[in-house]
Chain A
Amino acid sequence: MTTSFPPAMRSRPVYGVLTARPGTGHLIVADGEGADAVTDMIAAATDAAAMLARSHIIYVPGPTGTDRAETLRALGAAQFHRSPSFAACLPRLQKVLADAQMGMQIYVAGTEGVIGQVQQQAMLAGLPWQAVQTEHRGSTVRRVQCVHCKGITEAVRTDPFPCSHCGLNLFVRDHYSRRIAAFQGVNIDAEDPGQVPPPVERFA
């Protein structure tokens, strides 16, 4: 099932449901439970075989350990690549985007960190961000940038949380940057150092 999020500020991304669209090629990136959005889309496609013959699927296991690589491999796409992490598949993704032509469709499903980073790479390749189809599935852990040291902490579960780079206690906002592909984390005890509310597990 597609994740439904409570209403938030305008800057917070909104995700859709993947739908097969006509295109000269299909780049499909997913992590964790995002694999289910891919199989749902393929099952609903009018000509799944023709689509798969022009598809390149990149899959990364999810932040909570979900690994459906074999289900996606079994779809029989022209190219399938399982990567141990998003960082590890970034050079491949960048090479595919650099060689691609207009008409290639881009689909990304899974957690916000991967969705945002694929959209970021597409934008760096000159595509409008709206050209990337997105669907959220699985874990709601966040990728958060510390506004103080600029370091990014992946898979944040609690609010507040300690920045993995500078150690400040950060409050997790819904304020999101498409350019950085991260939510904003702001020091919560700047005025009263040490007065840190107990962390709450907001993202699972």
Chain B
Amino acid sequence: MSVGAPKIPVRVAEVVEVNALIKRFRFVRRDGGPMPVFSGGAHVVVDMDDHGTRRMNPYSLMSDPADTSGYEISVRRDDAGRGGSLFLHRHVTPGMDLVISSPVNLFPLDARARKHLMIAGGIGITPFLSQIAALSRLGGRFELHYSARTRDLAAYADDLTARHGDKVRLYLDDQGQAIDLNRLLQGQPLGTHLYVCGPKGMIGWVCRTAESLGWPKSAVHSEEFLAPPVGLPFQVQLATSGKTITVGPAQSLLEAIEAAGVDAPYLCRGGACGECETDVLGCDGQIAHNDHWLTDEQKVGNTKIMPCVSRFQGKTLILDR
């Protein structure tokens, strides 16, 4: 059960190959009506029927939040993933019907900031596109530092540079270019907020460096959606509904709970939002906590689990669900 606003039935209006790895999809409402306005940094969960397997993946909205005629997402193909991005790349074509969630924002701009400093890595550029569109309209001060493997893979870099000039700085790995993070973070006016979206390693590097240079935690924002990792199958007892279920190797615990007909809350399905937090009533074994939500103490305590991304190995796991 998705929490909050109702789902939106959409039609795929356009599919564009942005580069060798990334495709862009445009969704419009099937009834022709306007989409809800969203805020820069928001995402939607795309509901897919992949030949009988239900896939629900979160993607950042990259279109202008003021454009209510449709939503756009950019999807990087993950050949080693569980299949959501491959399904979108291979099977989703213009004219197809899909269902998406209403937008949810776990990565909003802090409107109190004097300046927004954005650091993007690869496909992590997408939430910044909608944020920059919003800031340009409001006249907000921003600076984007965007790193990608090659110029060809630096999606939307040309467009960003053309529109925003020296507010955008591009770093290409194959040219040996790298962000001079220490220097960048030491030269920012008081009241700057820092935003980072990209691969796990980059987010960790930026957050650690900011902390060591005295940036307050409340001025540092990051977003990383995790794909539910694959693993060994395991059994779970659902105490409230009185069911015992088996989670398949490529299935998430949340998906297995849903497949058993048990209505569990969720929002982002990527370990970020905290909505699916579930009480653990019994645990004889090891929970692989893969989320960004629970604190380290909570993870060690094994009294809570985030079923969207976390798995289990051991004898018994009993959940309050």
Contact = CB atoms under 8 A, between A and B. Distances in A.
Nearest to B110: A128
Nearest to A130: B218
Contact of A126 (B185, B186, B190, B213): B190
Given A105-B214, A131-B218, A123 B189 contact: no
Interface in B184-214: 185-192, 194, 212-214
15 contacts: A23-B214, A24-B213, A100-B189, A101-B186, A101-B189, A102-B188, A102-B189, A102-B190, A102-B192, A102-B213, A126-B189, A127-B190, A128-B110, A128-B112, A130-B216
Nearest to B215: A102
A22 interface: yes
Interface in B84-128: 110, 112-115
Contacts of B187: 101
Interface residues of B, number: 22
Contact of B186 (A97, A103, A128): A103
Interface of B: 110, 112-115, 185-192, 194, 212-219
Contacts of A97: 190
Contact of B214 (A98, A104, A125): A104
A21 interface: yes
A103 to B, nearest CB: 4
Interface string A79-108: 000000000000000000110111111000
A116 to B, nearest CB: 17
Nearest to A27: B190
Secondary structure at chain A's binding surface: helix, strand, loop or mixed? loop
Given A24-B186, A101-B186, A102-B185, A127 B215 contact: no
A91 B258 CA distance: 60
B213 A123 contact: no
Contacts of B217: 130
B219 A128 contact: yes
Given A102-B219, A103-B186, A131-B219, A125 B213 contact: no
A59 to B, nearest CB: 22
Contacts of A128: 110, 112, 216, 218-219
Contacts of B218: 128, 130-131
Interface string A105-119: 100000000000000
Of residues A23, A102, A103, A105, which shows the largest number of chain B Cβ atoms within 10 Å of its Cβ?
Answer: A102
Contacts of B214: 21-24, 102-105
